Structure 1
Amino acid sequence: MIYQKTDISNYQKLMETYSINSLLAKVLSAMKYDEQDIASFFNPLKEYKLDDKVFKPIKECLEIIKKENKKVFIFGDYDCDGICGTTIVKKILDKLEIENGFYIPNRLDEGYGLSMDKLKMAYQKGYEVLITVDNGVSSAEALKFAKEKEMISIVTDHHIITQTVNCDYLLHPSLLNEDYNYLCGSGIVYLLANYLDLQDPSMTVLAMVATIADVMPIKGANVKIIKDGIDFLNQGLYKNILALDKFNFPINEENVAFKIVPKINAVGRMANIANVNNVVRFLLTDNIKEINSLASQIIEVNNTRLQLSKEQNNLVKQQINKNDSFNLIYLPQLHEGLLGLIASRIADETKKLTFIMTDALEQIKGSGRSNGLINIIDMLEGFKEHTIALGGHSQACGITIKKEMLEPFKAYLHENLMNYDNAAIEEYIEVDVNDLKINNIKELFSFRPFGQDRNLPLLKVAIENVISYTSMKNEYQLKWRCKDIDFISFNNKGYENYKNQEKIEVYGYLQENIFRGKVYYQILIKEIIE
């Protein structure tokens, strides 16, 4: 690991301009915001201003659909965003008293995107309207079928548009102004609910969960969506989501990311043992007994996913060659729904470009993760013509190839990685005890939520003026208690190594924790500088 100091030389100017403390100014400087981003940071969006040109035609269309008693077929996606978005659209149509049905495809058997077979079945059952959620912009063949059968098609999606979308109505972040360009699939249909004045706390919570799940930039409308959703959750206004865990209140965005999102995603991943459509039913029901029963089933599926992930992650780790410049592990026995999770973990641990692959019918499917430095889609551009399917973004991809293309794929990676700097670099900022005063820390965390494009940076700081130094569960779990903040270490040297040191420099991350209603601040140590 190479640590690189971030230039935060303008932090004093930020202190003066915005009358903020040194810690907040240094963190804000590290985020590399432009003036508009900084203005939005301090003055986030207070209310949604929605473009009539985009939303009004859909509103009028829904009025006609209701008047003519047309049936609506909602086609969603199997990840957390797709599940939450499907639920929001179903809630909208139910409130409008429009007859509707929904379907989310099986990840393993049907894959991503609008299915021609399911659309034909819906048409044969009398559905005259199609609404896609978190998919549709790349479903040319299915949308052509909808046109031929004179079905009304409303595509709601947030994925990159690469071709003309042959639909009657399109709802996409790119059609809106900059504050709304970062919305996920659930976010865009949540705004439709707002435009129709049908929004409720449950929809806000669903949009919040999906925004965090899809790791969308914490900018513009997303800040309001996350804040409002978390506020409603802390008021206990959506018991379905709260049933998924035992929470310490108040809940924050990290609790959502680690305690809610994985459970919802697990059902889509484990499509061989669970039906993802039942998660939508769970999110729709108001029956407490049914909520608790379905929540228990979702938790059980996630526990199965956790155990299988652990086992298969260990299998993959045994195949890693430390001398290789990248990781490409192909094991026929791996669960297709877990490839992305395993790839993320291995890429994070090894700091290398990683592909985890397995058999899928007569093909090989894989999930790729960058080491943070390589644009994975750009790098694979030269191999695209040899793939059956390739999609994703700069840091992650899904890839499908013929079995005979595995070795050529390895050769392509070997050859092309020579053009990339594969060294793992982590940037940090320097802070001191004066920056880490309790009031400074409190002010910083008052600007939650943090996340994508709004991350708290790695800190380089000295542990000094120690009040107490102890080991916790074992000699490698260490705790230094200082005046305003604690330092915690789990994976460095043992207790005796640091016993008599008056000052220790570390790299670590600032955290806010809540235990029994009390707020604690700590730095989780990544590495102790020897």
Structure 2
Amino acid sequence: MNIDIFKSTPVLNELLRKRGIEGDAELEEFLSPSPKLAYDPFLLANMHAGVDLLLDAIYSGSKIVIYGDYDCDGVTSTALLMKVIGSLTDNVTYYIPSRLDEGYGLNKSAIDQIYQDEGEVIVTVDCGSVSAEEVAYANSLGIETIVTDHHTIKDVIAPGIVINPKAPEDTYPFKGLAGVGVAYKLALALSRNCEIPRSLITEVLELVAVGTIGDVMPLVDENRSLVKYGLRLMRLGFKNKGLRRLAELSGVDYNNITSTNVAFSLVPRINAAGRLGDASLGVRALLSDDDDEVERLCTKLMETNTKRRELQQEAFENCISLADDELEKGDFIMIEADHAHEGILGIVAGNLKERYNRPVVIVSPNDGLLKGTGRSIEGIDLYSLLNRHSEYFVKFGGHKAACGFTMETENLEKLRASLKEDVAGLLADNEKLFDRTIEADMDIIVPDTSIELARALELFAPFGAGNPEPVFRFEKVQVVDWKFLSDNKHARFSVMQHGSAIQCIMFNKAMDVYSLIASNKPLTVYGVMDINRWKDRENVQIRVLDVEEA
């Protein structure tokens, strides 16, 4: 890797500057396939205490229970600690609550079950920071606890050992670790104090990469190092049999696996089990070394994901007319989905948010209450919006882009009216609130595109939250050789400018922009520079995100 090329090429230099990458050392770290950026796990508050308690439990033969969450981050975290702690003791098991019956985080019924099963130490992963009452209850039963988590802590914090980079007064240098990242730090700290095979500590980086990408954590700083190493292991053929078989069944070429492949192929299939029933299906698939069992479990994950997609599509189609009706009354969409499967409502809310470019909340009946899940657009902080009306909620949590709550049915109409009024106020202050805009990193002309530039851009990966793919704007271009693909949702074409042409592909929106294409007017095209690889051939292409009149 010649960093002088990146410093001397204007396009690359500008993109790096916009990402805040300056100086040779920082540039080399950003582009390196073997980044060095990582922090001592003992910089996390309470790590020494957590390791001491765990070692005492291991050496005394106490029964340890890993208490996880039902999403991809929680499943990978659970599998990681099961592997690492399991290399030191056979007396370790795990518990993942049901999304549908128990909900997120620690609960007293689960603690009772763990107590009956003679569990003596609970190690939470991806949850537990604010479970003060539940941790105190476990302690009252004689169960010791170690909380590992990465969620924001506001007013209440669990007593005892809490390992969370976002905990008050924690001075860990990077706050963006996923739950699986914190679990890995615990495993790393443990390995400094006892004999854990170095190969195992390396192997579980695949799980760290999948969980970090799955939880949409920023792929910067230490996360970038962890994910790069995890992806490199996957490209070498995977150490984890479950992940490898899941990739194969998903049609992913693991030799060229990317963060995008992980996000759209592996993560949904691991998540599907928790959405529709039993998240431990994913844990078992990630823990097994038996080929027949791996095949059976991964096939089940594939089938569960297919079922999830069917339920999701059905619910989405049923919600469209309800959303249309809601929009006639105001710009906050609140839908009652009485018969939809609760596990897929968050995804449906996200799909509706994309379709209408409005904040969306879907509520459904749950044990005499309403359970709601919401997704929001750029520019509208859903957490702040809902928090204004906290008196309506029995339970409420989330962040600016996504929230969940439970509430009494009788408060629904009051909440709906209040939220519509709130959004009307936001729109009055900003008339462009609902305009769809694509922010380009920079303008470029077609003659300046090349396979060499596209190869250099690949070194900006892994792409994701905090490090998106660079988006280029081509102004006043002509679209030629348009060809619809499959069911007219996709298209191939070329863009011409200054006597040069470049191949393009557009997914999902081809029919939406075709009237503009057919007008033969000069157009502005927004897109990402890719390399199209087919057999032994490579050529540069633009993956077009949007087209507008110049």
TM-score (norm: length of structure 2) = 0.85
Q: In the alignment, which residue of structure 2 is the partner of 1:491?
A: 510
Q: Could you tell me how far apart the structure 1 residues matched to 2:526 and 2:183 are?
A: 41
Partners of 1:437 and 1:484 within 8 A in 2 = no
**Does 2:243 match 1:241?**
yes
| 1:244-270 CA-partner distances (Å, limit 9, x unpaired) | 122223111100000000001011010
- Equivalent positions of 1:299-318 (< 5 A) are 299-318=302-321
- What per-residue deviation string (whole Å, max 9, x for no partner) do you get for residues 153-189 of structure 1? 1000111112453443222123665653111111111
Map of 1:460-499 to 2, 5 A cutoff?
460-462=473-475, 470-473=483-486, 477-481=490-494, 485-489=502-506, 490-492=509-511, 498=517
Distance change (3 Å), C-alpha of 1:179 and 1:512: farther
How far apart in 2 are the matches of 1:372 and 1:135?
Answer: 26
How far is 1:235 from its partner?
A: 1.0
TM-aligned CA distance change 1:445 to 1:20, over 3 Å: farther
Give CA deviations for 1:476-501 in whole Å, capped at 9, x if unaligned: 74323467842123424787975795
Residue identity in the other structure for 1:50:
D
| Structure 2 counterpart of 1:439, one-letter code | E
Show the counterpart of 2:63.
71
The aligned residue for residue 170 of structure 1 is 162
CA contact 1:470–1:479 (8 Å) conserved in 2: yes
Q: State how 1:61-460 maps to structure 2 within 5 Å.
A: 61-174=53-166, 179-197=173-191, 198=196, 199-236=200-237, 237-244=239-246, 245-248=250-253, 249-271=255-277, 275-321=278-324, 322-323=327-328, 324-420=330-426, 421=430, 422-426=433-437, 427-428=439-440, 429-460=442-473
| Segment drifting more, 251-260 vs 475-484 | 475-484
8 Å CA contact 1:22–1:435 kept in 2: the answer is: no
Specify the alignment match of 1:5 in structure 2. Answer: none
Verify: 1:507 aligned to 2:526, yes or no: yes
* Residue identity matched to 2:434: A
Q: Provide the alpha-carbon RMSD of the alignment.
A: 2.9
- Unpaired runs of 5+ residues, structure 2, are none
Aligned length: 513
- How many Å apart are 1:56 and its aligned residue? 3.1
Stretch moving more, 470-479 or 306-315: 470-479
Identity of aligned residues (%): 28
> Secondary structure of 1:150's partner?
coil
Look up the match of 2:541: 522
Cα displacement (A) at 1:410: 0.7
- Per-residue CA deviations over 1:72-128 (Å, capped at 9, x if unaligned) read 122111011011101111112111115112110110111111011111221233221
What amino acid sits opposite 2:187 in the alignment? A
In structure 1, runs of 5+ residues without a counterpart are 1-14
Q: 1:379 to 1:250 in 2, by over 3 A?
A: same
Q: Is the contact made by 2:65 and 2:122 (CA closer than 8 Å) also made in structure 1?
A: yes
Query: Does the CA-based 8 Å contact 1:204-1:225 persist in structure 2?
Result: yes
SS in 2 for 1:315: helix
Match for 1:106: what amino acid?
S
Structure 1 range deviating more: 243-252 or 477-486: 477-486
Once the two structures are TM-superposed, the CA of residue 226 in structure 1 deviates from its matched residue by 0.9
Q: Give the alignment's TM-score, normalised by structure 1.
A: 0.88
CA contact (8 A) 2:80 2:204 kept: yes
Aligned equivalents of 1:424 and 1:85: distance in 2? 39
CA distance in 1, matches of 2:65, 2:226: 27
Secondary structure (helix, strand or coil) at the match of 1:320 reads helix
Identify which range, 330-339 or 508-517, moves more after superposition: 508-517
Q: Which has the higher contact order (CA 8 A, sep 6+)?
A: 1
Distance 1:411 1:101 in 2: 47
Cα distance between partner residues in 2 of 1:401 and 1:474: 42
